[in-house]
Amino acid sequence: MTPEYEVVIVGAGFAGLAAAMELEAAGVTDVVILERASDVGGTWRENTYPGVACDVPAHLYALARHPWPHWSREFAPGTEIQAYLRRVAAVAGIDRSIRFDTALHQARWHDGGWELQTTGGALRARMLILACGRLTEPAVPDVHGLATFPGPVVHSARWDPSLELAGTRVAVVGTGASGVQLVPELARRGAAVTLFQRSAPWVLPRGGRTYTDAERTRFASQPEVLAALRDDLFREGEARHASRAGDAAAAAAATDQALAHLHAQVSDPTLREWLTPDYAFGCKRVLLSDDFYPAVASDAVTLEPSALARADGDTLVAASGRRYAADAIVLATGFSATRQPYADLVTGEHGISLDEHWATGMSSALSTVVSGFPNLFILNGPNASLGHNSSILMLEEQAAYAARTIAAAPATATLRPDPAVEQAYTGMIVRRSRDTAWVAGGCRNWYVDERSGRLTLLWPGTVAQFRDQLRGADGSEFLAEPATERSTTP
C-alpha cells in the first residue's frame, strides 16, 4: 500500500528545514522530507570549493528560530554553514523526518492529491512543498572541445577535493561569486591561474571581522544583544535596495564606492579598464571581496577579458583569439537558475508540467503558489530571491505562509491558485522591475529569463514589503471551491 502523508517536502536545505519547523509550529506533524543526498545542507553541501563562504553576514544568514551565537566570523565559511544546518536538523528533531538518498522522479496531481515517484518508492501527499533550491544544477557552457580536454574539468559546485593544483596551470572560467572567491585561493595555493572574464563584476570591499571569544560568549549569554545585531544587519540590507532598484543617487554613490575600491587595489590602467564593468551597478550580483583585485593584479593570475571560445587539446582559445595552455579547468559558471531542474518532474491537474507552464519564464501568485498546481507551495522559486539582503528572510516568510495556509485548510480542501491572481502578480513584477538595474542595467544576468525578458528570480521590493504581502494574504489567491450539494429528505 502506498504510504500517505499530509505534507511532503522536497529538499533538506535552508528552505526545507524552515518549512518543517513552521509546519510543526502550526500543528501539522504528518510530514516527511525527501532529500536526494545523504546529508542536509543544499547549496552548502554541494559547494565545497576552496574559499567558499557566504557574502551575507552570518547572523542574518541563519534561521530566526535558531540563532547561532558561535559563528567564527562575520561572513561564515561554507563548512560552518553546513555544520549549522546539521545542528538545526538535529536540535529541532527534523532529521527523524528526512528520507535521505531519496530523489524525486515524478510528482503528479491525481484524485485530490500528489502522487510521487522516488528512488525510494511511491508515496502520496495531500500537500506538496518544493524546497529544492534554485542553485542546484550547475550550468556548463557549450564550449567546443571541452569534452576532450585532456586534464580535469570541474564545476565549482562539484568540486573534487583530491585535485592537487599547486604548481599547475589552472583556467578559471567565470567571474561571478564563485570565481571571485576561487581565484585568490587558487593563487594562494600556488596555481598559475588564467581567468576568463566574459564581463567584469562590480566588486565592493568585503571587510568581515573575526568574532572574539568574548563576543561569542556575550551573544550566547545575552540573546537580546544578538537579536539587536540581527536587526541592525537587516536594516543595513534593506538600505541597499535603493542602489539596485532605480534610485539614481544611491546607485551613483555605490558606483563611486566600487570604482574607488578598484582604483585603490589595481594600479595598472589597462587592467583597471578590463576590470571596470560596462553596465549599471547592481545589474548583476554585486560581489564582496578584498582579495580578488590584488590576486588578479599579481603575477599569479592572468586576466583574459573575454569568454572561453574553444579548447584545442590542452590549449584554450579565448573569444579574443588569444591562446593559453592549461592543465586543469574550473568552471565557475553558475547554475541553471531561470529554468528550475525540478520543473519538468511536476505535472499539474491539466496534464501540464511546471516547465511547460513556465515556458516564457517562471510566474506565480505571491511568489509561492502556481495556477494549475493545487496544494503546491514552492519556496525559493519565482521572484523569491534578493539582490540586496538575505534570502533566508524570504524563504522563512514563504515557509510560514505555507504552514499557515495548510493548517487552516479543511481536511478535504483543494487549494487551487487563481490564474487571474497569478497573471496580476506577474504584471506587478514587470511594472515594478521595469526601471531597475536588474532589467534596464544593460547586462545579461541570471535574474532575467531571456525567453521573455521578465525578471523571474528576484523580488523587486524590500523584504519588509514581501513580508507584509505574505502576512496579509487572505486566501483570495485561491479559487473558491464549489459548494457541496446537500441531500434532502422529501
pLDDT in tens, 128-145: 999 998 777 788 999 999
Set of cell numbers at residue 34: 525527501
Q: Does pLDDT of 170 surpass 80? A: yes
Average pLDDT rounded to a whole number, residues 123-131: 98
CA dist., res. 103 & res. 117, Å (int): 9
- What is the model's pLDDT at position 489? 31
Q: What architecture (CATH level 2) is domain 4-137+336-471? A: 3-Layer(bba) Sandwich (3.50)
What single DSSP character describes residue 458?
B
Q: Does pLDDT of 32 surpass 60? A: yes
- Spacing of C-alpha 296 from chain mean position: 27
> Cell match 500543528: residue?
27
CB atoms within 10 A of CB 119: 12
> Do 4-137+336-471 and 146-209+216-331 show the same overall fold?
yes
Sorted by sequence, the CB contacts under 8 Å of residue 61 that are 6+ apart come out as 54, 76, 81, 390, 392
- What is the model's pLDDT at position 246? 87
Report whether 366 contacts 425 (CB < 8 A): yes
- What is the model's pLDDT at position 1? 84
Q: Does pLDDT of 487 surpass 60? A: no
What are the Cα distances from residue 447, in Å, to 115, 135, 362, 384? 32, 12, 11, 11
What are the Cα distances from residue 354, in Å, to 149, 358, 387, 391? 36, 6, 25, 23
* H helix runs in 298-440, sequence order: 354-357, 391-408, 419-433, 437-440
- What is the model's pLDDT at position 475? 97
- What is the model's pLDDT at position 490? 32
- What is the model's pLDDT at position 137? 79
CA dist., res. 232 & res. 238, Å (int): 10
Task: Give me the residue spans of the domains in the chain.
Answer: 4-137+336-471, 146-209+216-331
Coil, helix or strand for 207?
coil
Which of 258, 147, 163 lies closest to 202, judged by CA? Answer: 258
* 59 CB-side CA count, 13 A: 26
442 — alpha (psi -120 to 50), left (phi > 0) or beta? left
Question: Angle at CA 378, nearest 5°, toward 375 and 382?
Answer: 130
CA dist., res. 23 & res. 340, Å (int): 25
- What is the model's pLDDT at position 335? 85
What are the Cα distances from residue 230, in Å, to 75, 357, 474? 13, 38, 29
- What is the model's pLDDT at position 66? 97
Element (H, E) at 16: helix 14-25
CA dist., res. 204 & res. 170, Å (int): 26
CA dist., res. 244 & res. 420, Å (int): 29
Query: pLDDT digits over 395-405, tens only?
Result: 999 999 999 99
Sorted by sequence, the CB contacts under 8 Å of residue 419 that are 6+ apart come out as 371, 372
Which of 2, 104, 57 lies closest to 231, judged by CA? Answer: 57
CA dist., res. 48 & res. 67, Å (int): 23
Report whether 372 contacts 357 (CB < 8 A): yes
Average pLDDT rounded to a whole number, residues 73-78: 97
CA dist., res. 46 & res. 282, Å (int): 26
Burial category of 484 from C-beta neighbours within 10 Å (exposed 0-12, middle 13-18, buried 19 and up): exposed
Query: pLDDT digits over 446-466, tens only?
Result: 999 999 999 999 999 999 999
- What is the model's pLDDT at position 484? 43
CA dist., res. 136 & res. 336, Å (int): 8
Report whether 55 contacts 208 (CB < 8 A): no
Query: pLDDT digits over 337-386, tens only?
Result: 788 889 999 999 999 999 999 999 999 999 999 999 999 999 999 999 99
- What is the model's pLDDT at position 336? 79
User: 377 — phi, psi (to 5°)?
Assistant: -125, 135
Task: Report percent pLDDT > 90 for the chain.
Answer: 94
b/e 67-105 (16+ beta carbons within 10 angstroms → b): bbbebeebbbbbebbbebbbebbeebebbebbbeebebe
CA dist., res. 419 & res. 130, Å (int): 20
- What is the model's pLDDT at position 164? 93
Q: Of 52-66, 68-82, 336-350, 389-403, which range is least confident?
A: 336-350
Q: What architecture (CATH level 2) is domain 146-209+216-331? A: 3-Layer(bba) Sandwich (3.50)
Q: Does pLDDT of 486 surpass 90? A: no
Sorted by sequence, the CB contacts under 8 Å of residue 178 that are 6+ apart come out as 47, 49, 52, 156, 157, 332, 334
Q: What is the chain's mean pLDDT, rounded?
A: 95
pLDDT band for position 488 (50/70/90)?
very low
CA dihedral 438, 444, 447, 449 (to 10 degrees): 120
